């Protein structure tokens, strides 16, 4: 089988960060493309990185079909969609997967983003055929690829994705934080603590099962632990948690993703160094590096 190729079009969290301080890893927000051999493209998230991908798709003469999986609807995961030029070309066909929010379905969420107050072109005028497909936590078949989804620990409804195909697996978990830190109460600390222990174990256990043995794990690594302490419940992880999760789930390759907008390239390098050091301390040896805009990983 020809290899699966994973390309990073946007690796930054929260907001695009152009400029010399981020030139090596890139300033565009979340967008990752998976090319399974002989299948339409799979695109995960539509941050500002999807704009460049859209330009590449425009160079293809034949009509393009692709599947777009949206983890959630915070700006950094959808802000590139109105600028995704491939979606303006008649004949192209995009199937957009995402989760409904309470009382607002996926179609409405995306069309509201392109309300004339915010953007001059309505979603129905984009030209390409756009199909919206609501998903939840579950398991789906898309073109013979088994797509599993799991809710992340992030404000609102956020999905992580696992793609299983021909014995290979890729897990994308942007915007996720440890469960443990959210469970705090002053009432009856002993019994509650015991209860939460179990709760946390169960939740973490299910997450580890979801990731288990992945050939590639792309995971939120926005903070150093000392930063995370000030940002608990913001929905992002310190590198320590990401590394521990990768070890517990015995993944084969770890990519640090969703870089903090205030981290320059050297800071990202330092986080990678500490992450590798932590992996070594567990005597667990796998490739581990920060996601870099433009990088292609082959499985």
List residues near Zn ion by CB under 5 A.
13, 76, 175
Q: Which is nearer to Zn ion, 52 or 76 (CB)?
A: 76
CA gap 60, 74 in Å, rounded: 30
CB nearer to Zn ion: pick between 165 and 239:
239
Q: Give whichever of 76 and 293 is closer to Zn ion, judged by the CB atom.
A: 76
Please say which residue, 76 or 244, places its beta carbon nearer to Zn ion: 76
Least separation in angstroms between CB 70 and Zn ion:
11
Q: Strand 129-134 and strand 145-151: pairing?
A: unpaired
CB atoms within 10 A of CB 221: 31
Cα 84 to Cα 189: distance, rounded to the nearest angstrom: 51
Q: What is the DSSP letter of 294?
A: T
Separation of alpha carbons 180 and 53, rounded Å:
37
- Token pair of 153, please? 């620990």
**Among all chains, which residue has been given the structure tokens 């998903």?**
135
Residue 254 CB, nearest distance to Zn ion (Å)? 18
**Minimal distance in Å, beta carbon 281 to Zn ion?**
29
Identity of the residue, 164 or 182, whose beta carbon is nearer to Zn ion in the bound complex: 182
- Of residues 247 and 256, the one with the C-beta less far from Zn ion: 256
Of 180, 238, 244, 257, which is closest to residue 14 (Cα–Cα)?
257
- Minimal distance in Å, beta carbon 35 to Zn ion? 23
Closest approach, Cβ 167 to Zn ion, in A, equals: 30
How many whole angstroms separate alpha carbon 273 and alpha carbon 268?
A: 9
- How many other C-beta atoms can be found within 10 angstroms of the C-beta atom of residue 260? 20
Q: Give 54 or 235: the residue with its C-beta nearer to Zn ion.
A: 235
Min dist CB 177 to Zn ion, Å, is 11
- Nearest distance, CB of residue 74 and Zn ion, angstroms: 5
Taking the C-alpha atoms of residue 63 and residue 58, their distance in angstroms, rounded to an integer, is 9
Q: Is 110 within 8 Å of 78 (Cβ atoms)?
A: yes
Report d(CA 200, CA 195) in Å as an integer: 9
């Amino acid at each position: 089988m020809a290899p699966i190729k994973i390309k990073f079009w946007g690796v930054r969290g929260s907001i695009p960060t152009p400029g010399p301080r981020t030139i090596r890893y890139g300033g565009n927000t979340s967008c990752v493309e998976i090319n399974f051999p002989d299948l339409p493209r799979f695109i995960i998230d539509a941050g500002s990185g999807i704009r460049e991908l859209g330009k590449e798709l425009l160079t293809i003469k034949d009509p393009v079909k692709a599947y777009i999986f949206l983890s959630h609807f915070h700006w950094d995961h959808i802000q590139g969609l109105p600028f995704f030029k491939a979606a303006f070309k008649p004949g192209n066909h995009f199937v957009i997967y995402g989760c409904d929010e309470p009382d607002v379905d996926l179609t409405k969420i995306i069309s509201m983003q392109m309300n004339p107050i915010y953007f001059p072109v309505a979603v129905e005028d984009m030209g390409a055929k756009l199909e919206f497909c609501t998903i939840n936590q579950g398991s789906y078949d898309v073109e013979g690829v088994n797509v599993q989804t799991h809710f992340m620990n992030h404000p609102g409804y956020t999905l992580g994705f696992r793609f299983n195909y021909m014995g290979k697996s890729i897990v994308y978990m942007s915007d996720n934080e440890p469960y443990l830190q959210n469970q705090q109460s002053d009432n009856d600390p002993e019994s509650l603590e015991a209860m939460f222990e179990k709760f946390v174990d169960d939740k973490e256990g299910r997450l580890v099962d979801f990731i288990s043995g992945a050939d590639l794990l792309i995971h939120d690594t926005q903070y150093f632990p000392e930063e995370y302490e000030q940002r608990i419940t913001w929905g992002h992880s310190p590198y320590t948690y990401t590394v521990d999760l990768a070890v517990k789930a015995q993944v084969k390759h770890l990519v640090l993703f969703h870089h903090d907008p205030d981290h320059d390239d050297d800071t990202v390098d330092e986080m990678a160094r500490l992450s590798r050091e932590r992996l070594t301390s567990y005597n667990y040896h796998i490739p581990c590096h920060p996601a870099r805009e433009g990088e292609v990983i082959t499985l």
